[in-house]
Chains A and B, each alone.
Chain A
Amino acid sequence: MKRHDTDVVSLVFGLLFLGVSAMWPLVHFDILGLPGLEVAAPVLLVSVGLAGLIASLGRIRRDRDETR
Protein backbone atom coordinates (compact mmCIF):
# COMPACT_ATOMS: atom_id res chain seq x y z
CA MET A 1 0.00 0.00 0.00
CA LYS A 2 1.31 3.36 -0.99
CA ARG A 3 1.71 6.33 1.25
CA HIS A 4 -0.10 9.36 -0.04
CA ASP A 5 -1.17 12.86 0.83
CA THR A 6 -3.76 13.08 3.61
CA ASP A 7 -7.18 11.96 2.39
CA VAL A 8 -9.40 14.30 4.38
CA VAL A 9 -12.64 12.42 3.61
CA SER A 10 -11.25 9.15 4.94
CA LEU A 11 -9.81 10.97 7.92
CA VAL A 12 -13.10 12.63 8.87
CA PHE A 13 -15.19 9.48 8.52
CA GLY A 14 -12.56 7.37 10.23
CA LEU A 15 -12.53 9.66 13.24
CA LEU A 16 -16.33 9.84 13.22
CA PHE A 17 -16.77 6.07 13.22
CA LEU A 18 -14.10 5.57 15.86
CA GLY A 19 -15.80 8.23 17.97
CA VAL A 20 -19.22 6.62 17.64
CA SER A 21 -17.86 3.20 18.52
CA ALA A 22 -15.99 4.72 21.47
CA MET A 23 -19.30 6.00 22.79
CA TRP A 24 -20.77 2.52 22.82
CA PRO A 25 -19.18 1.32 26.10
CA LEU A 26 -20.08 4.62 27.73
CA VAL A 27 -23.75 4.10 26.86
CA HIS A 28 -23.76 0.37 27.40
CA PHE A 29 -22.30 0.52 30.88
CA ASP A 30 -24.44 3.52 31.70
CA ILE A 31 -21.49 5.80 32.39
CA LEU A 32 -23.04 8.26 30.01
CA GLY A 33 -26.80 8.48 30.28
CA LEU A 34 -29.03 9.83 27.55
CA PRO A 35 -28.41 13.43 28.69
CA GLY A 36 -24.67 12.78 28.52
CA LEU A 37 -25.09 11.38 25.03
CA GLU A 38 -26.85 14.53 23.94
CA VAL A 39 -23.72 16.46 24.86
CA ALA A 40 -21.18 13.89 23.70
CA ALA A 41 -22.60 13.49 20.18
CA PRO A 42 -22.32 17.19 19.23
CA VAL A 43 -18.88 17.39 20.87
CA LEU A 44 -17.79 14.46 18.70
CA LEU A 45 -19.16 16.08 15.55
CA VAL A 46 -17.45 19.39 16.32
CA SER A 47 -14.10 17.79 17.05
CA VAL A 48 -14.25 15.59 13.96
CA GLY A 49 -15.22 18.60 11.86
CA LEU A 50 -12.35 20.63 13.31
CA ALA A 51 -9.92 17.82 12.57
CA GLY A 52 -11.19 17.79 8.99
CA LEU A 53 -10.80 21.57 8.73
CA ILE A 54 -7.27 21.50 10.06
CA ALA A 55 -6.29 18.68 7.73
CA SER A 56 -7.81 20.53 4.75
CA LEU A 57 -6.06 23.76 5.66
CA GLY A 58 -2.78 21.94 6.04
CA ARG A 59 -3.24 20.43 2.62
CA ILE A 60 -4.10 23.75 1.04
CA ARG A 61 -0.98 25.27 2.55
CA ARG A 62 1.17 22.41 1.32
CA ASP A 63 -0.26 22.65 -2.19
CA ARG A 64 0.44 26.37 -2.24
CA ASP A 65 4.00 25.88 -1.06
CA GLU A 66 4.57 23.28 -3.75
CA THR A 67 3.31 25.49 -6.57
CA ARG A 68 5.41 28.37 -5.41
Chain B
Amino acid sequence: MTSNPTPGLGDDLRALRRSRDDRVVAGVLGGVARRLGIDPILLRILTVVLAVFGGVGIVFYALGWLLIPDADHDSSIAEQSLGRHGRSPQLPTVALAVALVIAILIATGGTFNSGTGTLLLVLTIVGAVLLLRRRDEEGTPPPPGEPAAYPSDPVHSAYYPPSAAEPSPDLVAGPPSTPAAEPAAYPAATSSTGWPEGPDWEPPSTYAADSYEPASPPAPQPRPRSLLGPLTVSAIVVALGILAINDATWASIPVSAYIATALAIVGAGLLIGSWVGRSRGLIALGLLLTLTLPPAVFVADELNLTADHSTVTVARMDQVPDGPQSHGSGQVTYDLSSLELTDEDEIVLEIDQSLGQLRIIVPPEADVTLSASLGMGQIEAFDGMSAGIRPTRSVIDLGPDGAGGGSVTLDLDVAMGQIEVTR
Protein backbone atom coordinates (compact mmCIF):
# COMPACT_ATOMS: atom_id res chain seq x y z
CA MET B 1 0.00 0.00 0.00
CA THR B 2 2.93 2.30 0.60
CA SER B 3 3.82 2.13 -3.07
CA ASN B 4 0.33 3.24 -4.04
CA PRO B 5 -0.15 6.90 -3.22
CA THR B 6 -3.89 6.95 -3.95
CA PRO B 7 -5.56 3.96 -2.37
CA GLY B 8 -8.85 3.13 -4.03
CA LEU B 9 -12.04 1.70 -2.69
CA GLY B 10 -10.58 -1.78 -2.70
CA ASP B 11 -7.82 -0.77 -0.35
CA ASP B 12 -10.29 0.88 1.94
CA LEU B 13 -12.42 -2.23 2.06
CA ARG B 14 -9.41 -4.42 2.54
CA ALA B 15 -8.18 -2.27 5.37
CA LEU B 16 -11.40 -2.75 7.31
CA ARG B 17 -10.86 -4.62 10.53
CA ARG B 18 -13.22 -5.60 13.27
CA SER B 19 -12.21 -3.61 16.31
CA ARG B 20 -10.86 -5.46 19.30
CA ASP B 21 -11.23 -2.68 21.89
CA ASP B 22 -14.38 -1.02 20.70
CA ARG B 23 -16.78 -3.88 20.50
CA VAL B 24 -20.24 -4.76 21.69
CA VAL B 25 -20.66 -8.07 19.92
CA ALA B 26 -17.91 -8.70 17.41
CA GLY B 27 -16.48 -5.25 16.81
CA VAL B 28 -17.90 -4.86 13.30
CA LEU B 29 -19.39 -1.43 13.83
CA GLY B 30 -16.50 -0.24 15.97
CA GLY B 31 -14.14 -1.11 13.14
CA VAL B 32 -16.25 0.40 10.38
CA ALA B 33 -16.84 3.58 12.38
CA ARG B 34 -13.13 3.95 13.02
CA ARG B 35 -12.43 3.59 9.33
CA LEU B 36 -15.08 6.15 8.42
CA GLY B 37 -14.08 8.46 11.22
CA ILE B 38 -17.53 8.64 12.75
CA ASP B 39 -18.83 7.77 16.16
CA PRO B 40 -19.70 4.08 16.38
CA ILE B 41 -22.85 4.87 18.33
CA LEU B 42 -24.41 6.25 15.12
CA LEU B 43 -23.82 2.98 13.32
CA ARG B 44 -25.06 1.03 16.32
CA ILE B 45 -28.33 2.94 16.41
CA LEU B 46 -28.72 2.57 12.64
CA THR B 47 -28.09 -1.17 12.86
CA VAL B 48 -30.53 -1.67 15.70
CA VAL B 49 -33.18 0.28 13.80
CA LEU B 50 -32.54 -1.79 10.68
CA ALA B 51 -32.63 -4.95 12.77
CA VAL B 52 -36.00 -4.07 14.23
CA PHE B 53 -37.48 -3.21 10.85
CA GLY B 54 -37.16 -6.39 8.89
CA GLY B 55 -33.93 -7.78 10.27
CA VAL B 56 -31.73 -6.18 7.60
CA GLY B 57 -29.45 -4.83 10.29
CA ILE B 58 -28.80 -8.32 11.59
CA VAL B 59 -28.01 -9.53 8.09
CA PHE B 60 -25.54 -6.70 7.50
CA TYR B 61 -23.95 -7.23 10.88
CA ALA B 62 -23.62 -10.96 10.36
CA LEU B 63 -22.12 -10.45 6.90
CA GLY B 64 -19.66 -7.95 8.35
CA TRP B 65 -18.75 -10.45 11.02
CA LEU B 66 -18.10 -13.12 8.43
CA LEU B 67 -16.31 -10.99 5.85
CA ILE B 68 -14.29 -8.47 7.84
CA PRO B 69 -11.16 -9.87 9.44
CA ASP B 70 -10.63 -9.09 13.10
CA ALA B 71 -7.84 -6.85 14.26
CA ASP B 72 -5.42 -9.74 14.80
CA HIS B 73 -5.83 -11.49 11.48
CA ASP B 74 -5.45 -10.81 7.80
CA SER B 75 -8.21 -13.10 6.69
CA SER B 76 -11.86 -13.09 7.64
CA ILE B 77 -13.80 -15.95 9.16
CA ALA B 78 -15.26 -16.78 5.77
CA GLU B 79 -11.84 -16.82 4.19
CA GLN B 80 -10.46 -18.98 6.96
CA SER B 81 -13.35 -21.35 6.54
CA LEU B 82 -12.45 -21.64 2.89
CA GLY B 83 -8.90 -22.38 3.92
CA ARG B 84 -7.55 -19.09 2.67
CA HIS B 85 -4.86 -18.38 5.18
CA GLY B 86 -2.07 -18.09 2.71
CA ARG B 87 -1.96 -16.93 -0.84
CA SER B 88 -2.75 -19.98 -2.88
CA PRO B 89 -3.12 -18.84 -6.49
CA GLN B 90 -5.75 -21.36 -7.57
CA LEU B 91 -8.35 -20.27 -5.07
CA PRO B 92 -9.74 -17.25 -6.90
CA THR B 93 -10.32 -19.36 -9.97
CA VAL B 94 -12.10 -22.00 -7.93
CA ALA B 95 -14.14 -19.37 -6.12
CA LEU B 96 -15.03 -17.73 -9.43
CA ALA B 97 -16.14 -21.05 -10.86
CA VAL B 98 -18.27 -21.82 -7.81
CA ALA B 99 -19.82 -18.35 -7.90
CA LEU B 100 -20.59 -18.74 -11.60
CA VAL B 101 -22.20 -22.13 -11.12
CA ILE B 102 -24.34 -20.78 -8.30
CA ALA B 103 -25.30 -17.74 -10.36
CA ILE B 104 -26.34 -19.95 -13.25
CA LEU B 105 -28.33 -22.19 -10.93
CA ILE B 106 -30.13 -19.17 -9.55
CA ALA B 107 -30.76 -17.77 -13.01
CA THR B 108 -32.21 -20.98 -14.35
CA GLY B 109 -33.82 -22.18 -11.17
CA GLY B 110 -32.54 -25.47 -12.51
CA THR B 111 -31.29 -28.51 -10.67
CA PHE B 112 -32.20 -27.25 -7.28
CA ASN B 113 -35.77 -27.24 -6.20
CA SER B 114 -37.67 -23.97 -6.62
CA GLY B 115 -36.46 -21.06 -4.50
CA THR B 116 -33.28 -22.42 -2.99
CA GLY B 117 -32.34 -18.99 -4.30
CA THR B 118 -32.38 -17.26 -0.94
CA LEU B 119 -29.68 -19.44 0.49
CA LEU B 120 -27.68 -19.51 -2.71
CA LEU B 121 -27.94 -15.77 -3.11
CA VAL B 122 -26.42 -15.24 0.31
CA LEU B 123 -23.63 -17.67 -0.54
CA THR B 124 -23.05 -15.95 -3.87
CA ILE B 125 -22.71 -12.56 -2.26
CA VAL B 126 -20.28 -13.97 0.27
CA GLY B 127 -18.31 -15.58 -2.54
CA ALA B 128 -18.27 -12.43 -4.64
CA VAL B 129 -16.99 -10.31 -1.78
CA LEU B 130 -14.28 -12.84 -0.98
CA LEU B 131 -13.26 -12.76 -4.59
CA LEU B 132 -13.08 -8.99 -4.63
CA ARG B 133 -10.95 -8.94 -1.54
CA ARG B 134 -8.74 -11.56 -3.04
CA ARG B 135 -8.22 -9.60 -6.22
CA ASP B 136 -7.32 -6.52 -4.26
CA GLU B 137 -4.76 -8.43 -2.29
CA GLU B 138 -3.01 -9.55 -5.42
CA GLY B 139 -2.88 -6.01 -6.67
CA THR B 140 -4.52 -6.88 -9.97
CA PRO B 141 -5.27 -3.63 -11.72
CA PRO B 142 -8.99 -3.05 -11.94
CA PRO B 143 -10.67 -3.48 -15.32
CA PRO B 144 -10.54 -0.37 -17.49
CA GLY B 145 -14.12 0.60 -16.72
CA GLU B 146 -13.66 0.73 -12.99
CA PRO B 147 -11.48 3.71 -12.25
CA ALA B 148 -14.22 6.00 -13.50
CA ALA B 149 -16.71 4.32 -11.24
CA TYR B 150 -14.49 4.80 -8.20
CA PRO B 151 -12.73 8.11 -8.63
CA SER B 152 -9.88 7.39 -6.31
CA ASP B 153 -9.11 10.87 -5.16
CA PRO B 154 -12.44 11.83 -3.61
CA VAL B 155 -12.58 8.46 -1.94
CA HIS B 156 -9.10 8.88 -0.75
CA SER B 157 -9.68 12.27 0.72
CA ALA B 158 -12.92 11.10 2.29
CA TYR B 159 -11.26 8.27 4.14
CA TYR B 160 -7.81 9.58 4.85
CA PRO B 161 -7.13 12.87 6.51
CA PRO B 162 -4.53 14.70 4.44
CA SER B 163 -2.30 14.68 7.47
CA ALA B 164 -2.77 14.32 11.14
CA ALA B 165 -1.33 17.73 11.82
CA GLU B 166 -3.78 19.49 9.58
CA PRO B 167 -7.19 19.80 11.21
CA SER B 168 -9.89 18.95 8.71
CA PRO B 169 -13.25 19.03 10.41
CA ASP B 170 -15.09 18.52 7.13
CA LEU B 171 -13.82 14.97 7.07
CA VAL B 172 -15.82 14.09 10.07
CA ALA B 173 -18.97 12.60 8.68
CA GLY B 174 -20.68 12.67 12.03
CA PRO B 175 -23.43 15.02 13.13
CA PRO B 176 -22.91 18.56 11.94
CA SER B 177 -21.40 20.52 14.76
CA THR B 178 -18.37 22.63 15.39
CA PRO B 179 -15.18 20.73 16.00
CA ALA B 180 -14.65 22.57 19.25
CA ALA B 181 -17.88 21.26 20.68
CA GLU B 182 -17.13 17.67 19.81
CA PRO B 183 -14.72 16.49 22.48
CA ALA B 184 -17.29 17.04 25.16
CA ALA B 185 -20.02 15.36 23.18
CA TYR B 186 -18.04 12.26 22.38
CA PRO B 187 -15.50 11.72 25.06
CA ALA B 188 -15.27 8.05 24.25
CA ALA B 189 -14.21 8.66 20.68
CA THR B 190 -11.48 11.07 21.56
CA SER B 191 -8.03 9.60 21.43
CA SER B 192 -4.75 11.17 22.31
CA THR B 193 -4.64 12.91 18.96
CA GLY B 194 -7.77 14.87 19.89
CA TRP B 195 -10.96 15.30 17.95
CA PRO B 196 -10.08 18.08 15.50
CA GLU B 197 -7.69 15.76 13.74
CA GLY B 198 -10.46 13.25 13.54
CA PRO B 199 -11.42 10.61 16.05
CA ASP B 200 -8.92 7.86 16.53
CA TRP B 201 -6.92 8.84 13.52
CA GLU B 202 -3.46 7.53 13.70
CA PRO B 203 -0.51 9.37 12.21
CA PRO B 204 -0.18 8.54 8.50
CA SER B 205 2.76 6.26 9.12
CA THR B 206 0.52 3.77 10.86
CA TYR B 207 -1.85 3.70 7.90
CA ALA B 208 0.99 2.82 5.69
CA ALA B 209 1.86 0.02 8.06
CA ASP B 210 -1.66 -1.28 7.59
CA SER B 211 -2.54 -1.18 11.25
CA TYR B 212 -5.78 0.27 12.56
CA GLU B 213 -5.72 -0.46 16.23
CA PRO B 214 -4.38 2.47 18.21
CA ALA B 215 -0.71 2.08 19.10
CA SER B 216 -1.78 -1.11 20.75
CA PRO B 217 -0.09 -2.99 23.54
CA PRO B 218 2.84 -5.10 22.29
CA ALA B 219 1.76 -6.91 19.14
CA PRO B 220 -0.75 -9.49 20.39
CA GLN B 221 0.20 -13.03 19.54
CA PRO B 222 -2.56 -14.23 17.19
CA ARG B 223 -4.14 -17.29 18.69
CA PRO B 224 -3.69 -20.45 16.64
CA ARG B 225 -6.66 -20.95 14.39
CA SER B 226 -9.12 -23.59 15.35
CA LEU B 227 -10.10 -26.20 12.82
CA LEU B 228 -13.65 -26.28 14.08
CA GLY B 229 -14.96 -23.53 11.77
CA PRO B 230 -13.57 -25.04 8.55
CA LEU B 231 -14.70 -28.49 9.70
CA THR B 232 -18.23 -27.29 10.30
CA VAL B 233 -18.45 -25.44 7.00
CA SER B 234 -17.16 -28.50 5.16
CA ALA B 235 -19.73 -30.68 6.91
CA ILE B 236 -22.45 -28.25 5.79
CA VAL B 237 -21.25 -28.34 2.19
CA VAL B 238 -21.20 -32.15 2.21
CA ALA B 239 -24.66 -32.37 3.77
CA LEU B 240 -26.19 -29.89 1.34
CA GLY B 241 -24.57 -31.73 -1.53
CA ILE B 242 -26.11 -35.01 -0.40
CA LEU B 243 -29.49 -33.34 -0.07
CA ALA B 244 -29.15 -31.85 -3.55
CA ILE B 245 -28.26 -35.23 -5.05
CA ASN B 246 -31.33 -36.78 -3.47
CA ASP B 247 -33.38 -33.83 -4.60
CA ALA B 248 -32.22 -34.23 -8.17
CA THR B 249 -32.68 -37.99 -8.32
CA TRP B 250 -35.68 -39.26 -6.43
CA ALA B 251 -36.83 -37.08 -3.58
CA SER B 252 -38.43 -33.69 -3.53
CA ILE B 253 -36.66 -31.71 -0.87
CA PRO B 254 -38.09 -28.35 0.13
CA VAL B 255 -35.89 -25.27 0.25
CA SER B 256 -36.31 -24.98 3.97
CA ALA B 257 -34.82 -28.45 4.49
CA TYR B 258 -31.51 -27.21 3.11
CA ILE B 259 -31.52 -24.26 5.47
CA ALA B 260 -32.61 -26.29 8.49
CA THR B 261 -29.89 -28.86 7.82
CA ALA B 262 -27.20 -26.21 7.57
CA LEU B 263 -28.50 -24.58 10.72
CA ALA B 264 -28.44 -27.86 12.64
CA ILE B 265 -24.82 -28.42 11.65
CA VAL B 266 -23.89 -24.87 12.64
CA GLY B 267 -25.57 -25.48 16.01
CA ALA B 268 -23.69 -28.72 16.48
CA GLY B 269 -20.41 -27.02 15.57
CA LEU B 270 -21.04 -24.29 18.11
CA LEU B 271 -21.99 -26.82 20.75
CA ILE B 272 -18.73 -28.65 20.19
CA GLY B 273 -16.97 -25.29 20.23
CA SER B 274 -18.21 -24.54 23.71
CA TRP B 275 -15.79 -27.16 25.02
CA VAL B 276 -13.33 -27.99 22.27
CA GLY B 277 -11.81 -25.65 19.72
CA ARG B 278 -13.11 -22.21 18.82
CA SER B 279 -15.86 -21.38 16.39
CA ARG B 280 -17.69 -18.27 17.48
CA GLY B 281 -17.77 -17.00 13.91
CA LEU B 282 -20.36 -19.66 13.24
CA ILE B 283 -22.81 -17.58 15.25
CA ALA B 284 -22.98 -15.08 12.39
CA LEU B 285 -23.67 -17.84 9.89
CA GLY B 286 -26.33 -19.30 12.20
CA LEU B 287 -28.06 -15.94 12.55
CA LEU B 288 -28.24 -15.56 8.77
CA LEU B 289 -29.67 -19.05 8.37
CA THR B 290 -32.17 -18.52 11.18
CA LEU B 291 -33.43 -15.39 9.46
CA THR B 292 -33.87 -17.12 6.12
CA LEU B 293 -35.68 -20.10 7.62
CA PRO B 294 -39.14 -18.58 8.21
CA PRO B 295 -39.50 -17.09 4.70
CA ALA B 296 -38.30 -20.39 3.28
CA VAL B 297 -40.84 -22.39 5.27
CA PHE B 298 -43.77 -20.08 4.79
CA VAL B 299 -43.16 -18.70 1.30
CA ALA B 300 -40.62 -20.57 -0.80
CA ASP B 301 -41.81 -24.07 0.16
CA GLU B 302 -45.34 -23.20 -0.83
CA LEU B 303 -44.39 -22.34 -4.39
CA ASN B 304 -44.29 -25.10 -6.91
CA LEU B 305 -42.33 -23.92 -9.91
CA THR B 306 -42.72 -27.10 -11.91
CA ALA B 307 -43.99 -26.16 -15.34
CA ASP B 308 -47.62 -27.17 -15.63
CA HIS B 309 -49.65 -26.37 -18.72
CA SER B 310 -52.50 -28.77 -18.40
CA THR B 311 -55.92 -28.70 -19.93
CA VAL B 312 -58.52 -30.81 -18.23
CA THR B 313 -61.63 -31.40 -20.30
CA VAL B 314 -64.65 -32.58 -18.40
CA ALA B 315 -67.40 -33.71 -20.75
CA ARG B 316 -69.09 -36.36 -18.61
CA MET B 317 -69.88 -36.59 -14.91
CA ASP B 318 -67.39 -39.43 -14.40
CA GLN B 319 -64.57 -37.22 -15.68
CA VAL B 320 -65.00 -34.76 -12.85
CA PRO B 321 -61.76 -34.93 -10.84
CA ASP B 322 -62.14 -36.20 -7.33
CA GLY B 323 -60.87 -34.18 -4.38
CA PRO B 324 -58.55 -31.17 -4.34
CA GLN B 325 -56.43 -30.66 -7.45
CA SER B 326 -52.98 -29.17 -7.21
CA HIS B 327 -51.02 -27.56 -10.04
CA GLY B 328 -47.56 -26.10 -10.53
CA SER B 329 -46.83 -23.02 -12.55
CA GLY B 330 -48.15 -22.24 -15.99
CA GLN B 331 -51.45 -22.06 -17.77
CA VAL B 332 -54.05 -24.48 -16.51
CA THR B 333 -57.48 -24.81 -18.07
CA TYR B 334 -60.51 -26.73 -16.87
CA ASP B 335 -63.01 -26.96 -19.69
CA LEU B 336 -66.47 -27.93 -18.53
CA SER B 337 -68.27 -26.24 -21.42
CA SER B 338 -69.48 -29.44 -23.01
CA LEU B 339 -70.62 -31.01 -19.74
CA GLU B 340 -74.34 -31.60 -19.66
CA LEU B 341 -75.90 -31.38 -16.25
CA THR B 342 -79.39 -32.15 -15.05
CA ASP B 343 -80.97 -29.94 -12.40
CA GLU B 344 -79.97 -32.40 -9.65
CA ASP B 345 -76.30 -32.74 -10.61
CA GLU B 346 -73.80 -31.14 -8.28
CA ILE B 347 -70.12 -30.71 -8.99
CA VAL B 348 -67.45 -29.52 -6.56
CA LEU B 349 -64.06 -28.51 -7.92
CA GLU B 350 -61.27 -27.55 -5.57
CA ILE B 351 -58.18 -26.34 -7.43
CA ASP B 352 -54.86 -25.00 -6.15
CA GLN B 353 -52.25 -23.50 -8.41
CA SER B 354 -48.89 -21.96 -7.64
CA LEU B 355 -48.14 -19.39 -10.34
CA GLY B 356 -49.79 -18.55 -13.64
CA GLN B 357 -53.22 -18.48 -15.13
CA LEU B 358 -56.09 -20.70 -14.08
CA ARG B 359 -59.03 -20.71 -16.50
CA ILE B 360 -62.30 -22.40 -15.77
CA ILE B 361 -64.97 -22.67 -18.47
CA VAL B 362 -68.21 -23.69 -16.79
CA PRO B 363 -71.25 -25.30 -18.44
CA PRO B 364 -73.42 -22.64 -20.13
CA GLU B 365 -76.46 -23.05 -17.93
CA ALA B 366 -75.12 -24.27 -14.61
CA ASP B 367 -75.56 -22.35 -11.35
CA VAL B 368 -72.04 -21.47 -10.26
CA THR B 369 -70.95 -20.76 -6.69
CA LEU B 370 -67.44 -19.38 -6.87
CA SER B 371 -65.00 -18.63 -4.14
CA ALA B 372 -61.63 -17.57 -5.49
CA SER B 373 -58.61 -16.30 -3.64
CA LEU B 374 -55.29 -15.11 -4.96
CA GLY B 375 -52.04 -14.03 -3.31
CA MET B 376 -51.44 -11.40 -5.91
CA GLY B 377 -52.93 -10.78 -9.32
CA GLN B 378 -56.31 -10.57 -10.94
CA ILE B 379 -59.56 -12.47 -10.69
CA GLU B 380 -62.05 -12.24 -13.55
CA ALA B 381 -65.31 -14.00 -12.96
CA PHE B 382 -68.14 -13.61 -15.45
CA ASP B 383 -68.52 -9.83 -15.63
CA GLY B 384 -66.78 -8.83 -12.43
CA MET B 385 -63.13 -8.35 -11.69
CA SER B 386 -60.89 -7.95 -8.63
CA ALA B 387 -57.20 -7.22 -8.75
CA GLY B 388 -54.31 -6.34 -6.53
CA ILE B 389 -52.79 -7.99 -3.50
CA ARG B 390 -54.89 -10.73 -1.94
CA PRO B 391 -57.99 -10.18 -4.00
CA THR B 392 -60.83 -12.56 -3.25
CA ARG B 393 -64.09 -13.02 -5.01
CA SER B 394 -67.23 -14.85 -3.96
CA VAL B 395 -69.87 -14.98 -6.64
CA ILE B 396 -73.07 -16.90 -7.20
CA ASP B 397 -73.99 -16.83 -10.86
CA LEU B 398 -77.10 -18.62 -12.04
CA GLY B 399 -76.41 -18.20 -15.74
CA PRO B 400 -78.73 -16.96 -18.49
CA ASP B 401 -81.48 -19.44 -17.56
CA GLY B 402 -81.75 -18.49 -13.90
CA ALA B 403 -81.86 -21.24 -11.27
CA GLY B 404 -81.54 -24.77 -12.59
CA GLY B 405 -79.22 -26.54 -14.98
CA GLY B 406 -77.13 -28.25 -12.29
CA SER B 407 -74.81 -26.65 -9.78
CA VAL B 408 -71.06 -26.17 -9.88
CA THR B 409 -69.12 -25.15 -6.79
CA LEU B 410 -65.63 -23.80 -7.47
CA ASP B 411 -63.02 -23.31 -4.80
CA LEU B 412 -59.97 -21.78 -6.46
CA ASP B 413 -56.69 -20.75 -4.93
CA VAL B 414 -53.72 -19.35 -6.86
CA ALA B 415 -50.57 -17.96 -5.24
CA MET B 416 -49.78 -15.44 -7.96
CA GLY B 417 -51.26 -14.85 -11.36
CA GLN B 418 -54.72 -14.79 -12.80
CA ILE B 419 -57.99 -16.61 -12.24
CA GLU B 420 -60.56 -16.50 -15.02
CA VAL B 421 -64.01 -18.01 -14.85
CA THR B 422 -66.20 -17.83 -17.95
CA ARG B 423 -69.08 -19.66 -19.55
Contacts and interface: CB of A to CB of B under 8 A. Distances in A.
B293 A17 contact: no
Contacts of A9: 280, 283
Interface stretch (B14-22, B187-195, B257-265): B257-265
A14 B267 contact: yes
Contacts of A8: 274
B359 to A, nearest CB: 31
Given A24-B256, A28-B257, A6 B275 contact: yes
Interface in B197-232: 226-228
Given A14-B267, A17-B264, A4 B275 contact: yes
A2 B224 CA distance: 10
A39 interface: no
Contact of A14 (B226, B269, B276, B289): B269
B266 to A, nearest CB: 5
Given A1-B226, A9-B280, A13-B286, A21 B274 contact: no
A6 B256 CA distance: 31
A56 B347 CA distance: 65
A14 B273 contact: yes
Contacts of B264: 17-18, 21-22
Contacts of B283: 9-10, 13
Contacts of A14: 267-274
A57 interface: no
B110 interface: no
B297 interface: yes
A40 interface: no
A19 B283 CA distance: 14
A16 B264 CA distance: 10
Given A14-B270, A24-B297, A1 B227 contact: yes
Interface of chain B: mostly helix, strand, loop or mixed = helix
Given A1-B277, A22-B264, A11 B271 contact: yes
Contact of B266 (A6, A17, A19): A17
A61 interface: no
B290 interface: yes
A28 B297 contact: yes
Contacts of B289: 17
A18 B261 CA distance: 10
B127 interface: no
B254 interface: yes
A27 B296 CA distance: 12
B226 A18 contact: no
Contacts of B72: none
B182 interface: no
A30 to B, nearest CB: 11
B297 A13 contact: no
A31 interface: no
B81 interface: no
Interface of B: 226-228, 254, 256-257, 260-261, 263-264, 266-280, 282-283, 286, 289-290, 293, 297, 301
Given A10-B280, A10-B283, A18-B271, 18 more contacts: A1-B226, A6-B274, A7-B273, A9-B280, A13-B267, A13-B282, A13-B286, A14-B268, A14-B270, A14-B271, A14-B273, A15-B267, A16-B267, A17-B289, A22-B264, A24-B256, A24-B293, A27-B297
29 contacts: A1-B226, A1-B276, A3-B275, A4-B276, A4-B278, A7-B273, A7-B278, A7-B280, A10-B271, A10-B280, A10-B282, A13-B270, A13-B286, A14-B268, A14-B271, A14-B273, A15-B267, A15-B271, A17-B267, A17-B270, A17-B290, A18-B264, A18-B271, A21-B261, A24-B263, A27-B297, A28-B254, A28-B257, A28-B301
Return the 4 tightest CB-CB contacts between A and B, nearest first. A14-B270, A17-B267, A18-B267, A1-B277
